[in-house]
Structure 1
Amino acid sequence: MTAPLLSLRNLIISAGGRRLVDGVSLDLEAGRTLAIIGESGSGKSLTALSLLGLLPDGLEVDPATRITVDGRVLAPRDERGWRALRGRRIAIVFQDPMACLNPFMRVGEQIEETLQRAGIAAPAERRQRIVTGLAEVELPNPAALATRYPHQLSGGQQQRVMIAMALAGEPDLLIADEPTSALDASVQADIVALLARLQAKRRLALLIITHDLAVAGVLGHSIAVMQHGRVVETGPAAEVISRPRDPYTARLVGARRRLADVPAAQTMARPVAVTAEAVCVDYSARRLFGTSFRAVHGASLSLLAGRTLGLLGESGSGKSTLAAALAGMRPLADGRIRLLGHALEPRGKPLPDALRRRCQMVFQNPYGALNPRLTIGRALAEPLALARVPASAQAARIVAGLNEVGLDADHAMRYPHQLSGGQRQRACIARALLCEPEVLICDEVISALDMTVKVQILDLLKRLQAERGFAMLFVGHDIEAVRWISDEVLVMHQGRIVERCRPEQLELSAVRDPYTRRLLSARLMPKFDGAIVEKPGGQPRLQVSTAADCLPAW
């Protein structure tokens, strides 16, 4: 039996006497992929950081913990030992490439730093390896791209640059921490396929940290499931996902499975809450003599009371701009919007204050939408004060609003940083509903959440809509989520609505537009019927629904 490249035994990480990671043991061989899945706070990222000696100060590692890399035993705080391995034997790709790349340095300069640390002394050789590295991660025109700054690249290109930087030192083990979590479906599929090709080409050992079952099933030879700092289940990827043994794993799989089942759409006649006719929205030129940019071209739609209209598209498609225009938050360049009986037109009157309360938005980033200096209770009191609700009645309304979204009264005393991501989003929904809106616009409200929390938020929105009867515009790039919650789906591409269909028609066999077909082809969706194909080395791999050319044939 081949000795593992990486061996981790009894990893225990504590903070203030509380165990954050509790007795984790893992093995990873050269050329193999281990996927660690779990929700936020499960300890999976701390486990990955410990394998590079990068744990933050203040965390204690138990002396009994043993980390072995290619036969060499390393102490978790052995900085000199880890420094010799980082970037050379082990490298990492982090979740948010824009936060990791230096915004003041060109892409090529940042890769060159890695090459210098790896011992490549000759400038000519470094320049050649920069271009070669960017070409290896399949970036177009790598020589020109090396001269750009990170903000001049798309999210997918930034992630490819991070992968090129990690591979510059030719490591044996690559750790990818949530490499696809913030990406659109097609870009996610591209990155997953790229990692698979790079692993096969370089015979890398690959450690994937993710909460996406599809990514784990596609890339992983084996899966370790973490909950509350412990590994609760391990095994071949296909068996763990299609036949989970642990109740927690079954709950993760069940949450994803639910989104695969599209509920029957409502057909009852309803009054119209919002209409848009040939709406165009422009962004002003950034320079004095520059030209404006048209973000939305001739969009027309109708949103009915008590119904949900899904707006699906990738980043930059114009869907958030259109949503803001429908809420009266962006001026129109052309066309007409009628919101709850009030007409919005180019150079027309703005939305009256009384009407603004009847149309509310819930934004993508709940942490950014809540003032970090205010408690949740004070944040929820603001719309009540604007609505002139007496101070004596506000406390009861706030508690009722929190209870309605599944939060307790004591959450009103907490600050945003003291809540989980799902709890913060529930607080934002509660704040929007305190105004008793007739139209609720949800802009990417589940994009940064774990799968089980996503389903909880979707269930919550559906229940609240059934109870209150508001019209809802649900904006997103998650195909399964948009399809599951919507009564009708619109697909946007380059500022235009290119497809209109019922949610059950959002399938390759039914849609007509080439972009929609490409979007559906790129998605990674596990099949839960236990269908298994073989990976190299005789290990099973979960079959997924994806484009034929998305992944290499094993």
Structure 2
Amino acid sequence: MSTESLLEIRDLSVTLPTDSSELRAVRGVSLDLRRGETLGIVGESGSGKSMTALALMNLLPPAARRQAAGIHFGDADLATLGEKELAGRVRGRRIGMIFQEPMTSLNPVYTIGRQLIETMTIHGGTSVAAARRRAIELLEKVGLPDPASRLKQYPHEMSGGQRQRVMIAMALMNEPELLIADEPTTALDVTIQAQILHLLSELQRELGMAMILITHDLGVVSRAADRIAVMYAGDIVETGTTEAVLSAPRHPYTQGLLECVPGYREASARRLGSIPGIVPSMTGEIRGCAFAARCPRAVPRCHQEDPPRRPVAAGQSDGAARSFVCHDPEETRGRGFAGGDTATGPAIRRGGDSVLRVDDASCTFSVRRGLFGKRKPLRALDRVSLDIRKGEVLALVGESGCGKTTLTRTIMGLQTPDAGTVTLAGRPLGEQPARQRARLIQPIFQDPYSSLNPRQTIGDLIRRPLVINRLGDAREQRARVHRMMDYVGLPSRVFNSFPDQLSGGQRQRAAIARALILDPEIVICDEPTSALDVSVQAQILNLLLDLRDELDLTYLFVTHDLSVVRHLADRVAVMYLGEIVECGPGEQVLNRPKHPYTRALLDSALSIEPALGVPAPDLAGDFPNPMNRPSGCPFHPRCPLADQRCRQRVPATETLDGTLVKCWKADTPPPSAPLDVRPDHNNKEDAAP
């Protein structure tokens, strides 16, 4: 890694006008970035991460006001360049950007080829033919097979991971000196996430780029970044090398974020730390430390005086490169964020009698390709058997398209299986009236903003299931809603509020209250924390565990976050291409997996371990098209252990060490661990700025 400075930001501020005052989105940020270095910017939503990146290229709302003592990028000061110079010389040419959601960033009416080629030709000096060759070269480099044919495709014809690869190729068309990646792996499967980060690491090393990685995922930044800048309320509150900051955080906010991460503490059964409140909107006059209202270490002067920036003393970790902004009161050192050893409430017997059984369920859909194409069968579930036991948390994991959603819809009675049966509370699901099913099983969806009617108040939304099922009069229903709001930690003042007036965590609490208002036996949690900040995720996970114990609930928890699975699951079921390929106790499946696919998922997961770097993906290829299922074992085209028997014969389900596994190679040791491809980011000679 070079010691030559590429980017120097000095005292950058961004102000947005509001109806009554001004919002200070970025407050005096100063950062340095060297050539070939990766800087990770982390923090909750609203902390100013994306606004800082957009301000570099002046891609701000028209009413926004940007001020800076200097934004020196190579030989140019971006703070003084006009719009014409920025558009012609900097954006897309010297600085590339990967946006968070590729489907909204790619033009749906233009082909991939047109969008890639225009990225290069719009700056002049390059022919269409040369740009086309460059596009094909980059699509091949980012791992898309048959890149020439991809140029004719439209964004909707690609998977999420493929679209993200296209965005990476587009950002690299002009070989930029700096790549800004804004949440490049959010909402992607754990395997695709590992592939994208590995790809960025390789391309960065090959092209000598610097990179700014914006994310709220501390596992991602711990593996991919050389240095970290922690943002809160528009300011950098701590910065230093990745290993130093994550191993010995100095700012209470950094410590709080880490305590919110499942698996950060030694005992996975312990409650997660929880940061109360939300990031404040920085409007009007700011007095004292912006974090003081949420900080367990705050003393009176924290609320009254601006905190100083403190360099870490020389000789302590990475002292020369580290600093943090805090009064650091001695009298409160050692205080942490609220957590606990176990969930509250009475202990219950988990994993008892089965409350729901799925026996050999299969679902096949008829899908037409194109307007005049022939219909072809798509087998979404293939003889799936599963049982959910009283009081347990059963985690269902697998890549997008594996059949998790179809299985949960089948369990809720929203999808009728072609074959097999679903038994709920001892009776076949099909024989139970819809209202009876609704009182036994309820869902919590991924995005609380889209699952809550924006035209109804929170009180009406939670009360609605009682109205539909005609349970109690209006007074009794209202009292029951208030009790449930107390259970989930919603203040009574939001009873008459609308969803857009609540924070993300409060909206998810409202969704949980609505799901529990009928006292269901089973709750299906469909990625309930994937759209939330890590601090809010910790609150929701603690709440779900508390409610399970207090209300004697049973959870089917659908997620792709294996750290969450490790934290709360009693049993784990792994799905692949419509089949359950492994199912057993959480400790057994996560620590001693039998199926190669389970091993690949676990190898791709990014825990907070900076020394390990980005894992090299050992799972070849993309998830197969369910309309063209492979013969034999469905996993064999991607399996490193596959042989001729795997290609020809469907494996039977067997029990090994208490785990059900569907694999011919379940007793075969895994291949050697993948190599760490990340450059040596911990070189002591490179530690100084």
So what's the TM-score if we normalise by structure 1?
A: 0.92
CA deviation map 1:475-502 (0-9, x unaligned)? 1111111222111111001110001121
Greater CA deviation, 543-552 or 115-124?
A: 543-552
Q: Compute the displacement of 1:179 (Å).
A: 0.4
Closer, same or farther: CA 466–27 of 1 in aligned 2, 3 Å: same
State the alpha-carbon separation in 1 of the partners of residues 487 and 349 from structure 2. Answer: 27
Counterpart secondary structure, 1:314: coil
Q: Compute the displacement of 1:243 (Å).
A: 1.0
Contact 1:74/1:81 (8 A) holds in 2: no
Q: 2:223 aligns with which of 218, 241, 247?
A: 218
Find the counterpart in structure 2 of residue 277 from structure 1: 359
Q: Show the 5 A alignment for 1:112-127.
A: 112-127=117-132
State the alpha-carbon separation in 2 of the partners of residues 137 and 269 from structure 1. Answer: 45
Greater CA deviation, 373-382 or 130-139?
A: 373-382
CA deviation map 1:283-341 (0-9, x unaligned)? 23336851231111111111122111111111111112101110111111110000123
Contact 2:93/2:174 (8 A) holds in 1: yes
Find the counterpart in structure 1 of residue 268 from structure 2: 262
CA deviation map 1:141-186 (0-9, x unaligned)? 1112222111221111111100000111221110000001111111
CA deviation map 1:188-225 (0-9, x unaligned)? 11111111111111110100001111221222111000
State the alpha-carbon separation in 1 of the partners of residues 678 and 246 from structure 2. Answer: 21
Find the counterpart in structure 1 of residue 317 from structure 2: none
Closer, same or farther: CA 120–284 of 1 in aligned 2, 3 Å: farther
Matched, 1:491 2:574: yes
Q: Show the 5 A alignment for 1:182-193.
A: 182-193=187-198
Closer, same or farther: CA 212–75 of 1 in aligned 2, 3 Å: same
Count of aligned residue pairs for this structure pair = 536
Contact 2:183/2:214 (8 A) holds in 1: yes
So what's the TM-score if we normalise by structure 2?
A: 0.74
Counterpart secondary structure, 2:32: strand
Find the counterpart in structure 2 of residue 511 from structure 1: 593
Q: Show the 5 A alignment for 1:39-54.
A: 39-54=44-59
Counterpart secondary structure, 2:175: coil
Matched, 1:96 2:127: no
Q: 2:85 aligns with which of 76, 81, 84?
A: 81
Matched, 1:341 2:426: yes
Q: Compute the displacement of 1:226 (Å).
A: 0.6
Find the counterpart in structure 2 of residue 173 from structure 1: 178
Q: Compute the displacement of 1:550 (Å).
A: 6.3
Contact 1:310/1:483 (8 A) holds in 2: no
Find the counterpart in structure 2 of residue 431 from structure 1: 514
State the alpha-carbon separation in 2 of the partners of residues 34 and 356 from structure 1. Answer: 48
Contact 1:266/1:307 (8 A) holds in 2: no
Greater CA deviation, 486-495 or 252-261?
A: 252-261
Q: Compute the displacement of 1:12 (Å).
A: 1.7
Greater CA deviation, 188-197 or 148-157?
A: 148-157
Q: 1:143 aligns with which of 148, 158, 169?
A: 148
Contact 1:213/1:526 (8 A) holds in 2: yes
CA deviation map 1:339-390 (0-9, x unaligned)? 123313xxx5564323322210011111110112222222222112113232
Greater CA deviation, 398-407 or 158-167?
A: 398-407
State the alpha-carbon separation in 2 of the partners of residues 419 and 55 from structure 1. Answer: 26
Matched, 1:414 2:497: yes
CA deviation map 1:56-103 (0-9, x unaligned)? 233333x44532221322338942232121001111101111111112
Find the counterpart in structure 2 of residue 552 from structure 1: 677
State the alpha-carbon separation in 2 of the partners of residues 259 and 501 from structure 1. Answer: 24
Matched, 1:253 2:258: yes
Contact 2:8/2:71 (8 A) holds in 1: yes
Q: Compute the displacement of 1:122 (Å).
A: 1.9
Find the counterpart in structure 2 of residue 532 from structure 1: none
Q: 1:68 aligns with which of 58, 65, 72?
A: 72
Residue 201 of structure 2 aligns with an amino acid whose one-letter code is A
Find the counterpart in structure 2 of residue 8 from structure 1: 9
Closer, same or farther: CA 257–447 of 1 in aligned 2, 3 Å: closer
The structure with higher relative contact order (CA 8 Å, sep 6+) is 1
State the alpha-carbon separation in 2 of the partners of residues 44 and 295 from structure 1. Answer: 39
Find the counterpart in structure 1 of residue 543 from structure 2: 460
State the alpha-carbon separation in 2 of the partners of residues 404 and 31 from structure 1. Answer: 50
Matched, 1:500 2:500: no
Contact 1:476/1:482 (8 A) holds in 2: yes
Matched, 1:478 2:561: yes
Q: 2:396 aligns with which of 307, 311, 335?
A: 311
CA deviation map 1:242-287 (0-9, x unaligned)? 1111111111112225466433998656232111101112223336
Contact 2:197/2:614 (8 A) holds in 1: no
Q: Show the 5 A alignment for 1:368-383.
A: 368-383=450-465
State the alpha-carbon separation in 2 of the partners of residues 192 and 50 from structure 1. Answer: 24
State the alpha-carbon separation in 2 of the partners of residues 115 and 304 from structure 1. Answer: 57
State the alpha-carbon separation in 2 of the partners of residues 553 and 27 from structure 1. Answer: 21
Contact 2:97/2:171 (8 A) holds in 1: yes
Counterpart secondary structure, 1:256: coil
Contact 1:53/1:78 (8 A) holds in 2: no
Matched, 1:387 2:472: no
Counterpart secondary structure, 1:262: coil
Contact 2:614/2:677 (8 A) holds in 1: no
Closer, same or farther: CA 266–519 of 1 in aligned 2, 3 Å: farther
Greater CA deviation, 489-498 or 264-273?
A: 264-273
Q: Show the 5 A alignment for 1:282-361.
A: 282-286=364-368, 289-344=374-429, 348-349=430-431, 351-361=433-443
State the alpha-carbon separation in 2 of the partners of residues 134 and 226 from structure 1. Answer: 34
CA radius of gyration, larger in: 2
Greater CA deviation, 403-412 or 183-192?
A: 403-412
Q: Compute the displacement of 1:446 (Å).
A: 1.1
Q: Compute the displacement of 1:447 (Å).
A: 1.3
Identity score, percent: 43
Closer, same or farther: CA 351–242 of 1 in aligned 2, 3 Å: farther
Closer, same or farther: CA 553–32 of 1 in aligned 2, 3 Å: closer
Contact 1:282/1:296 (8 A) holds in 2: yes
Contact 1:525/1:545 (8 A) holds in 2: no
CA deviation map 1:129-148 (0-9, x unaligned)? 11011112122111122221
Structure 1: 5+ residue stretches without partners: 528-540
Residue 7 of structure 1 aligns with an amino acid whose one-letter code is E
Find the counterpart in structure 2 of residue 30 from structure 1: 35
Find the counterpart in structure 2 of residue 362 from structure 1: 444
Structure 2: 5+ residue stretches without partners: 271-346, 617-672, 680-689
Residue 549 of structure 1 aligns with an amino acid whose one-letter code is P
Contact 1:12/1:65 (8 A) holds in 2: no
Greater CA deviation, 265-274 or 446-455?
A: 265-274
Contact 1:475/1:482 (8 A) holds in 2: no
Q: Compute the displacement of 1:120 (Å).
A: 4.7
Counterpart secondary structure, 2:250: coil
Contact 1:120/1:126 (8 A) holds in 2: no
Closer, same or farther: CA 343–131 of 1 in aligned 2, 3 Å: same
Closer, same or farther: CA 503–89 of 1 in aligned 2, 3 Å: same
State the alpha-carbon separation in 1 of the partners of residues 350 and 163 from structure 2. Answer: 46
Greater CA deviation, 7-16 or 245-254?
A: 7-16
